[in-house]
Structure 1
Amino acid sequence: MAAPNKEYDLKLARLLARNGRYPREAYEFVQASVVRAVKAAGHCRHITAREILLHLCELAVAEFGPMAAAVLAEWRLKYASDIGAIVFALIREQILCADEQDSPEDFNIDFDLTAAVSAATDSNNHSTDRIPIIE
Protein backbone atom coordinates (compact mmCIF):
# COMPACT_ATOMS: atom_id res chain seq x y z
CA MET A 1 0.00 0.00 0.00
CA ALA A 2 2.70 2.46 0.91
CA ALA A 3 5.22 3.34 -1.76
CA PRO A 4 8.59 1.63 -1.23
CA ASN A 5 10.75 4.05 0.70
CA LYS A 6 13.75 3.16 2.83
CA GLU A 7 13.11 5.87 5.44
CA TYR A 8 9.46 4.83 5.69
CA ASP A 9 10.45 1.17 6.07
CA LEU A 10 12.92 2.05 8.85
CA LYS A 11 10.33 4.11 10.72
CA LEU A 12 7.72 1.40 10.42
CA ALA A 13 10.19 -1.30 11.48
CA ARG A 14 11.08 0.80 14.55
CA LEU A 15 7.40 1.22 15.37
CA LEU A 16 6.73 -2.52 15.00
CA ALA A 17 9.72 -3.39 17.17
CA ARG A 18 8.36 -1.17 19.96
CA ASN A 19 4.71 -2.03 19.54
CA GLY A 20 3.78 -5.30 17.90
CA ARG A 21 0.14 -5.07 18.92
CA TYR A 22 -0.99 -4.86 15.28
CA PRO A 23 0.59 -6.38 12.17
CA ARG A 24 2.46 -4.28 9.62
CA GLU A 25 -0.46 -4.55 7.19
CA ALA A 26 -2.77 -2.87 9.71
CA TYR A 27 -0.45 0.12 10.05
CA GLU A 28 -0.10 0.41 6.27
CA PHE A 29 -3.85 0.09 5.75
CA VAL A 30 -4.69 2.74 8.34
CA GLN A 31 -2.11 5.06 6.78
CA ALA A 32 -3.69 4.50 3.36
CA SER A 33 -7.10 5.28 4.85
CA VAL A 34 -5.84 8.59 6.25
CA VAL A 35 -4.32 9.49 2.88
CA ARG A 36 -7.64 8.62 1.21
CA ALA A 37 -9.55 10.83 3.67
CA VAL A 38 -7.18 13.75 3.05
CA LYS A 39 -7.48 13.39 -0.74
CA ALA A 40 -11.27 13.16 -0.52
CA ALA A 41 -11.36 16.46 1.38
CA GLY A 42 -9.99 18.07 -1.76
CA HIS A 43 -8.10 20.78 0.10
CA CYS A 44 -5.91 21.15 3.13
CA ARG A 45 -8.10 20.96 6.20
CA HIS A 46 -8.40 19.02 9.42
CA ILE A 47 -9.62 15.44 8.98
CA THR A 48 -11.78 14.09 11.79
CA ALA A 49 -11.56 10.67 13.37
CA ARG A 50 -15.02 9.86 11.96
CA GLU A 51 -13.86 10.74 8.42
CA ILE A 52 -10.84 8.48 8.78
CA LEU A 53 -13.06 5.65 10.05
CA LEU A 54 -15.54 6.02 7.20
CA HIS A 55 -12.78 6.03 4.60
CA LEU A 56 -11.17 3.04 6.27
CA CYS A 57 -14.42 1.08 5.98
CA GLU A 58 -14.90 2.09 2.35
CA LEU A 59 -11.30 1.19 1.50
CA ALA A 60 -11.62 -2.15 3.29
CA VAL A 61 -14.64 -3.04 1.17
CA ALA A 62 -12.95 -1.82 -2.01
CA GLU A 63 -9.80 -3.84 -1.26
CA PHE A 64 -11.25 -6.97 0.34
CA GLY A 65 -14.91 -7.10 -0.68
CA PRO A 66 -17.05 -9.40 1.45
CA MET A 67 -13.94 -10.48 3.39
CA ALA A 68 -13.32 -6.92 4.67
CA ALA A 69 -14.67 -7.53 8.18
CA ALA A 70 -12.65 -10.76 8.47
CA VAL A 71 -9.44 -9.03 7.36
CA LEU A 72 -9.89 -6.20 9.89
CA ALA A 73 -10.62 -8.76 12.61
CA GLU A 74 -7.47 -10.71 11.67
CA TRP A 75 -5.50 -7.48 12.09
CA ARG A 76 -7.18 -6.94 15.51
CA LEU A 77 -8.98 -3.80 14.31
CA LYS A 78 -12.30 -3.88 16.10
CA TYR A 79 -12.84 -0.49 17.70
CA ALA A 80 -12.35 3.11 16.68
CA SER A 81 -9.75 3.30 19.43
CA ASP A 82 -7.70 0.62 17.61
CA ILE A 83 -7.56 2.89 14.58
CA GLY A 84 -6.67 5.85 16.79
CA ALA A 85 -3.84 3.88 18.42
CA ILE A 86 -2.37 3.17 15.00
CA VAL A 87 -2.87 6.74 13.72
CA PHE A 88 -1.06 8.19 16.73
CA ALA A 89 1.72 5.59 16.59
CA LEU A 90 2.26 6.67 12.97
CA ILE A 91 2.24 10.30 14.10
CA ARG A 92 4.87 9.61 16.78
CA GLU A 93 7.09 8.05 14.10
CA GLN A 94 6.51 11.09 11.86
CA ILE A 95 4.90 8.95 9.20
CA LEU A 96 1.70 10.98 9.59
CA CYS A 97 1.26 14.46 11.03
CA ALA A 98 -1.36 16.01 13.28
CA ASP A 99 -2.55 19.36 14.52
CA GLU A 100 -1.87 20.42 18.09
CA GLN A 101 -5.50 19.85 19.06
CA ASP A 102 -5.51 16.25 17.75
CA SER A 103 -5.50 13.52 20.37
CA PRO A 104 -5.92 9.75 20.57
CA GLU A 105 -9.10 10.48 22.54
CA ASP A 106 -10.65 11.75 19.29
CA PHE A 107 -11.09 8.07 18.46
CA ASN A 108 -12.90 7.23 21.70
CA ILE A 109 -16.24 7.31 19.92
CA ASP A 110 -18.98 4.77 19.39
CA PHE A 111 -18.24 3.44 15.94
CA ASP A 112 -18.82 -0.22 15.19
CA LEU A 113 -16.22 -1.14 12.55
CA THR A 114 -17.79 -4.52 11.86
CA ALA A 115 -21.25 -3.05 11.32
CA ALA A 116 -19.86 -0.19 9.24
CA VAL A 117 -17.90 -2.55 6.99
CA SER A 118 -20.93 -4.82 6.65
CA ALA A 119 -23.09 -1.85 5.68
CA ALA A 120 -20.45 -0.64 3.22
CA THR A 121 -20.30 -4.15 1.72
CA ASP A 122 -24.10 -4.15 1.35
CA SER A 123 -23.96 -0.65 -0.14
CA ASN A 124 -21.28 -1.82 -2.55
CA ASN A 125 -23.72 -4.54 -3.58
CA HIS A 126 -26.21 -1.81 -4.60
CA SER A 127 -28.11 -1.71 -1.32
CA THR A 128 -29.58 1.61 -0.27
CA ASP A 129 -28.48 1.14 3.33
CA ARG A 130 -26.07 3.65 4.78
CA ILE A 131 -23.05 2.99 6.97
CA PRO A 132 -24.38 2.91 10.55
CA ILE A 133 -23.00 5.51 12.89
CA ILE A 134 -23.84 5.36 16.57
CA GLU A 135 -24.26 8.87 17.86
Structure 2
Amino acid sequence: MKKYAVLLIIGLLCFGTTSTTFARASIKFHTTNVFCLFNDLVINGYFENSGDTDGTVTGLQLNININGNRHERPNYDQLNIHVGAGRRYSTNFKVTGFGDPKIYSWRVNSSTAFKYKRPNEDRYTNNDDEDDDL
Protein backbone atom coordinates (compact mmCIF):
# COMPACT_ATOMS: atom_id res chain seq x y z
CA MET A 1 0.00 0.00 0.00
CA LYS A 2 2.79 2.39 0.92
CA LYS A 3 4.52 1.55 -2.36
CA TYR A 4 1.46 2.68 -4.35
CA ALA A 5 1.13 5.86 -2.30
CA VAL A 6 4.77 6.75 -2.95
CA LEU A 7 4.33 6.08 -6.67
CA LEU A 8 1.25 8.26 -6.74
CA ILE A 9 3.04 11.15 -5.03
CA ILE A 10 6.02 10.83 -7.37
CA GLY A 11 3.64 10.76 -10.35
CA LEU A 12 1.91 13.94 -9.19
CA LEU A 13 5.22 15.70 -8.63
CA CYS A 14 6.59 14.69 -12.01
CA PHE A 15 3.56 15.32 -14.16
CA GLY A 16 1.83 18.01 -12.14
CA THR A 17 -1.88 18.35 -11.56
CA THR A 18 -4.37 19.78 -13.99
CA SER A 19 -7.57 21.58 -13.24
CA THR A 20 -10.15 22.86 -15.66
CA THR A 21 -12.13 25.99 -14.96
CA PHE A 22 -15.33 26.57 -16.91
CA ALA A 23 -16.57 30.10 -17.47
CA ARG A 24 -20.18 30.07 -16.34
CA ALA A 25 -23.22 32.15 -16.78
CA SER A 26 -24.24 34.05 -13.68
CA ILE A 27 -27.90 34.88 -14.22
CA LYS A 28 -30.16 36.43 -11.62
CA PHE A 29 -33.71 37.68 -11.80
CA HIS A 30 -34.55 41.20 -10.62
CA THR A 31 -38.10 42.46 -10.22
CA THR A 32 -39.24 45.93 -11.25
CA ASN A 33 -42.86 45.71 -10.06
CA VAL A 34 -45.52 43.27 -8.93
CA PHE A 35 -49.27 43.75 -9.16
CA CYS A 36 -52.52 41.82 -9.06
CA LEU A 37 -54.56 41.52 -12.25
CA PHE A 38 -57.88 39.75 -11.71
CA ASN A 39 -56.87 36.36 -10.29
CA ASP A 40 -53.25 36.53 -11.41
CA LEU A 41 -50.11 37.80 -9.81
CA VAL A 42 -48.11 39.62 -12.49
CA ILE A 43 -44.38 39.99 -11.99
CA ASN A 44 -42.32 42.30 -14.17
CA GLY A 45 -38.56 42.20 -14.12
CA TYR A 46 -35.42 41.22 -15.95
CA PHE A 47 -32.81 38.51 -16.01
CA GLU A 48 -29.27 39.81 -15.73
CA ASN A 49 -26.29 37.78 -16.82
CA SER A 50 -23.15 39.11 -15.16
CA GLY A 51 -21.06 36.20 -16.41
CA ASP A 52 -18.93 35.90 -19.51
CA THR A 53 -20.88 32.97 -20.94
CA ASP A 54 -24.28 32.94 -22.60
CA GLY A 55 -26.97 31.21 -20.57
CA THR A 56 -30.44 29.83 -21.13
CA VAL A 57 -33.13 29.90 -18.48
CA THR A 58 -34.95 26.62 -18.85
CA GLY A 59 -37.26 26.43 -15.87
CA LEU A 60 -38.21 29.28 -13.55
CA GLN A 61 -39.71 28.50 -10.18
CA LEU A 62 -41.09 31.14 -7.87
CA ASN A 63 -40.96 30.81 -4.12
CA ILE A 64 -43.82 32.90 -2.78
CA ASN A 65 -44.28 33.59 0.90
CA ILE A 66 -47.89 34.33 1.83
CA ASN A 67 -48.36 35.16 5.51
CA GLY A 68 -45.28 33.14 6.35
CA ASN A 69 -46.31 30.07 4.35
CA ARG A 70 -44.14 29.14 1.41
CA HIS A 71 -45.76 28.29 -1.90
CA GLU A 72 -43.98 27.17 -5.01
CA ARG A 73 -45.39 28.12 -8.38
CA PRO A 74 -43.64 27.03 -11.56
CA ASN A 75 -43.91 29.11 -14.70
CA TYR A 76 -44.32 27.07 -17.86
CA ASP A 77 -45.10 29.93 -20.22
CA GLN A 78 -41.60 31.11 -20.94
CA LEU A 79 -39.01 28.39 -21.23
CA ASN A 80 -35.64 28.60 -22.92
CA ILE A 81 -35.06 32.30 -22.31
CA HIS A 82 -31.67 33.11 -23.81
CA VAL A 83 -29.56 35.67 -21.95
CA GLY A 84 -26.32 36.73 -23.59
CA ALA A 85 -23.09 37.25 -21.67
CA GLY A 86 -23.14 40.56 -19.81
CA ARG A 87 -26.70 41.32 -20.96
CA ARG A 88 -30.21 41.79 -19.59
CA TYR A 89 -33.45 40.23 -20.74
CA SER A 90 -36.64 42.01 -19.70
CA THR A 91 -39.71 39.86 -19.19
CA ASN A 92 -42.95 39.47 -17.31
CA PHE A 93 -44.99 36.46 -16.32
CA LYS A 94 -48.14 35.55 -14.46
CA VAL A 95 -48.74 33.34 -11.48
CA THR A 96 -52.35 32.24 -11.70
CA GLY A 97 -54.94 31.33 -9.13
CA PHE A 98 -54.41 33.77 -6.28
CA GLY A 99 -57.29 36.19 -6.65
CA ASP A 100 -56.79 37.99 -3.34
CA PRO A 101 -57.14 41.80 -3.43
CA LYS A 102 -54.72 41.97 -0.49
CA ILE A 103 -51.90 40.85 -2.76
CA TYR A 104 -49.88 43.93 -1.84
CA SER A 105 -49.65 42.82 1.77
CA TRP A 106 -47.99 39.55 0.78
CA ARG A 107 -44.29 39.13 0.90
CA VAL A 108 -43.18 37.69 -2.40
CA ASN A 109 -39.75 36.34 -3.15
CA SER A 110 -38.47 35.11 -6.47
CA SER A 111 -36.00 32.29 -6.56
CA THR A 112 -32.89 32.21 -8.69
CA ALA A 113 -33.08 28.42 -8.59
CA PHE A 114 -33.62 28.15 -12.31
CA LYS A 115 -31.37 26.16 -14.60
CA TYR A 116 -28.93 27.44 -17.13
CA LYS A 117 -27.04 25.60 -19.83
CA ARG A 118 -23.53 26.28 -20.98
CA PRO A 119 -23.23 26.68 -24.74
CA ASN A 120 -22.74 23.37 -26.58
CA GLU A 121 -23.40 21.31 -23.48
CA ASP A 122 -26.24 19.01 -22.60
CA ARG A 123 -25.71 19.31 -18.87
CA TYR A 124 -27.84 21.63 -16.77
CA THR A 125 -26.76 23.21 -13.50
CA ASN A 126 -28.80 24.81 -10.74
CA ASN A 127 -27.97 28.39 -9.85
CA ASP A 128 -29.58 28.88 -6.46
CA ASP A 129 -27.16 31.13 -4.61
CA GLU A 130 -29.67 33.55 -3.15
CA ASP A 131 -33.17 34.97 -3.39
CA ASP A 132 -34.14 38.43 -4.56
CA ASP A 133 -36.89 40.22 -2.64
CA LEU A 134 -39.72 41.56 -4.72
Q: Say yes or no: TM over 0.5.
A: no
Normalized per residue, the structure richer in helix is: 1
- TM-score normalised by structure 1 residue count: 0.25
**Which protein has the larger Cα radius of gyration, Structure 1 or Structure 2?**
2
- TM-score normalised by structure 2 residue count: 0.25
Normalized per residue, the structure richer in strand is: 2
